[in-house]
Structure 1
Amino acid sequence: GAMCPSYHATRNEKDTTRGRANALREFLTHNPRENKFDAAELKEVFDLCLSCKACGSECPSNVDVATLKAEFMYQYQEEHGYTFRNKLFAYNTRANRISAKFPLLSGAFLQNRITGKLVKKITGVAGERSIPMARKFDFRKYLNSKPDLTSENKGKLVLYIDEFTEYLDIEVGKDAIDLLHTLGYEIILYFGESGRTFISKGFLNQARELAAANLQALYPFTSEGIPVVGLEPSAVLSFRDEYHRFRLHPEKLRSLSENSLLIEEFLAREIGKGNIFSSSFTAEERIVKVHNHCHQKSLSDQKVTFDVLNVPENYKVRIINSGCCGMAGSFGYEKEHYEVSMKIGGLRLFPSVSKAAEDTLIAANGTSCRHQIWDGTGRKAYHPVSILRNALKS
């Protein structure tokens, strides 16, 4: 359980991978009820699991507690109903889609001290949390306004605008378009909800439907080996992880799984092929401190982010040995988890960010991680794509 972030914060045996796995084994074997997952005690067991997936890759027995938790929550809620707050987080994208249409209304409502407080109270969100604002942006129009690529066209890619980028991290999406276009790539935009918010709350039927829709829509590209490049690790990496458990079309799944990449994986691959050069970027000196997303640590590799941020010749990149940031999607918003969430961030991540010099760039590719860094230190962290976009020679 040494790799488990909640254990580091609480030091409770029940918050280790071992503790959770033992409790689950106990109930699956001895629970007299027909639905073996139907046990309030198991709710307690999974309560502090952040679904970070560290156990899936670091635990010697490869117990994947994130999957156990999603399956448990599904089974338990099928039996006892889906709570209002869980629905709210699971259907968050729907809420963002609506509030993006009324930015003034929703913005004023959430930012107002009194109504903002009320919303948090009703929804069980920690009062101390900042709430991100949903906005509307026409990415297609933005891409179409770019000049045509010269003869230097380096090939096609699908830029996956996931549910987080589309409504909450618009700047990151724009930076990705700017960066890839300037470097000579032909961009096809794809909009689709990954299902991450549903998976993390155990809404597995809804997640499976989204997965099937994405497989189908992306197959014309993946079947030709055109890479699907994603910005938010928890969204795009679900194509390589959770989607395998939904028993979907095997050929389409293989093709999506093999052709979906974090944008850093894609850029690192292109650097390796000699398609991207330092000469496109500034020679200015900067120090960059990097915090990577848990799912990247578990399912990909941190070196890709390190490599791409080293492309500007005088950028000195250091990876913060940070473990999980403690936000983990909705986890850090929930008022009963707020304290543990901040405690996890306070172990190594916050101190490292806080002691970085003013002009040190803080990189974090996860939307939750950037949010957590802001709430924990008041410093703005940038997606590596934004850092590279700003480093381009004008």
Structure 2
Amino acid sequence: MRVALVAMETTRHTDTAGNRRFERLARQLTEAGHEVTLFCAQWWDGEPDRFEADGIQYRAVTINRALTSFCLRLPLMLARYGPDIIHARPSPPQQVIAASIGGTLARTPMLVEWFGDEGLDGTARTTRWAVTEPQLVVTPSQMVRTEVRELGAADESTRIVPESIDFSLVDAVDPSEEVDVAYAHPLDESANIESLFLGLAELRDRDWTATIIGDGPQRDAYERQASDLRIDDRVQFVGACDREQRLAIYRGAHAFVQTAYREYFATELLWALAAGCVGIVEYQAESSAHELIENYERSFRVTNPQQLADAIVDAGQYDHLSVEETWREYDHSRVLEQYTDIYDDLQSGFGYL
């Protein structure tokens, strides 16, 4: 299958979770044998044509992020490429209109990948065009899907495709020392470790240990808070950590606690669940984390620090695991199949859309 991906801004321009997901999809499609080109603004030195990096074939539409020029040139370039499917990012939303025109010229269906972190103005006409022009809008969670529908997308024109993980890596990493609780998130204003610490402080008379993964501008403040609550002797801050180090900690941990205010998809929670952790999620209005564990037995949903403390205690009813096969369905290969099935469905029904 020939796939045209459209994103004026790549991770080389703006490193966001949505852009990383989009480029990971480009690599996975290429590795699976599909012909894939990502149409973008040039970010590399040299001739403004094609450039390959990290397994992705990039095609420069413009030599810089000049939106008007990008949108004027894109339709004809897509038509000449002759893709079987066009898959675009919604930011900036004007590129969706241009990609749609390219799809009309190429007689090709188009879908939009809406992760949730685009930061678009929901009142702008162009934003609403970005959800109504494509044949389908893909989101990583029900929370983001609801936001897209509120912008004007029809229910039948939206689909959830979750984030994915390398499940084989879970087995490949040896567990680290056992801890009772693990937590992972950039230590910024949305981390909300206060809830976890207040819950742990309720359990001072019990024997427990906790590991905090992540770094950021609020780390010093969180370390001071642990000290003020007199739990710092049992809370270890280990920094950002790479994927293997995180997995080793998750495989050694009994429970993973999710309290962050904002999660378009709770990827670290997913990794931890796959590594056998009991999931404890504090409900947040701007987080989709609770969706992951909605029908999962080894989990707890809470709304305040006292309930969180109770859940940490109650998690002891479950055996310690270091891998959980339930989450194999989120492996990269399984989720990639969801994308290719969507592509096939769009192609087969394009004449009727």
Fold match by TM threshold 0.5:
no
Higher Rg of the two aligned structures? 2
Higher normalized contact order (CA 8 Å, seq sep 6+, divided by chain length): 1
Select the structure that is richer in helix. 1
TM-score, L = length of structure 1: 0.26
TM-score, L = length of structure 2: 0.28
Select the structure that is richer in strand. 2
